[in-house]
Amino acid sequence: MRKTILSIVTALAAVASTLVVLTGPAQAHGYISSPPSRQANCAQGRVANCGPIIYEPQSVEGPKGQRNCHGGLSQFAQLSDESKPWPATSVGQNVTFNWVLTARHATSTWEYYIGNTRVAVFNDGGRQPGATVSHNVNLGGFSGRQRLLAIWNIADTPMAFYSCVDLQIGGGGGNPQPTPTPTVTPRPPSPTPTVTPPPAGGTWRTGTYYATGSTVTYGGATYRCLQAHTSLAGWEPPNVPALWARV
């Protein structure tokens, strides 16, 4: 009996796996993480009311040749909304742009635009990208607040991925700053994690640094921290026995 059921289960599994593939996650692929792109600022929660991009900052995929921040996708149109308070990162003339990739497509080029000027292009000649991708870009004398558009052109599809990065370019034209390290402009109040441990016996909350041995209450029970960490949603004490022991 059991064996029969198992073989039926196995047969159904084969059918269902096809269904799972068909209903699988949207194919999603990459964006600029630092200096933070608009979708990175949305996903991080630094810019509010961004719409569904917060769930998939890697999905701004549209036909090649566009010059907007949302890849022409109506559900992500907020990325091109210039009235939103996009924070600009202070940079010099040379900036290193770092990408997060969730799929490593064969790549034709990576392009960087300010306005209509292509300030940089990197030709990968159809190769798959490495583990991580970063490009050092000279901003070509642009200064002040600028919106940079980065485009990842895929080699074997007609599609590209779009990321806009808001920059406050200092240093003036032809006077590159020695350090390409971006610094961040002061930002509006946001859920910045505190680094001060709460008083022993406080209520557990997210974004808090807990030292090994500190105690919290959660859902009426007391827990002792087994390993120092900054708390986050999904790491509630009863859910992560690796981090918290009930006392």
Partner 1 sequence: MKRLAIVLALVAGCSAPAEPAFNAADVMFLQMMIPHHEQGIQMAKIAEERAARPEVKALASAIRATQSDEAKTMTTRLTRWEQPMEAPPGSHDAHGGLHETRPSDILSLEKAPAGQFDTNFLNLLTGHQHNAVDMARTEVKTGLDAATKDLAKRIEESRKAQIQEMLRLLAAPRR
- Residues at the interface with partner 1 (CB under 8 A): 1-2, 5-6, 8-9, 12-17, 19-21, 23-26, 28, 30, 33-36, 40-41, 43-46, 55-56, 58, 89, 98-105, 130-132, 134, 181-184, 193, 206, 227-230, 232-235, 239-243
Look up residue 49 and give its two tokens.
């009311």
Phi, psi for 232 (deg, rounded to 5): -150, 160
Give 173 or 191: the residue with its C-beta nearer to partner 1.
Answer: 191
Q: Is 29 exposed, middle or buried (0-12, 13-18, 19+ CB in 10 A)?
A: buried
Shortest CB 83 distance to partner 1, Å? 22
The residue to which tokens 């921040």 are assigned? 69
Shortest CB 116 distance to partner 1, Å? 28
CA distance 164 to 65: 15
Give 70 or 105: the residue with its C-beta nearer to partner 1.
Answer: 105
CA distance 41 to 150: 15
Judged by DSSP in three states, 223 sits in: strand
Shortest CB 174 distance to partner 1, Å? 25
Q: Give the number of other Cβ atoms within 10 Å of residue 186's Cβ.
A: 6
Give 158 or 173: the residue with its C-beta nearer to partner 1.
Answer: 158
Look up residue 229 and give its two tokens.
């960490």
Give 173 or 213: the residue with its C-beta nearer to partner 1.
Answer: 213
Give 45 or 201: the residue with its C-beta nearer to partner 1.
Answer: 45
Shortest CB 81 distance to partner 1, Å? 20
Alpha helix segments (H runs only) across 45-81: none
Shortest CB 168 distance to partner 1, Å? 14
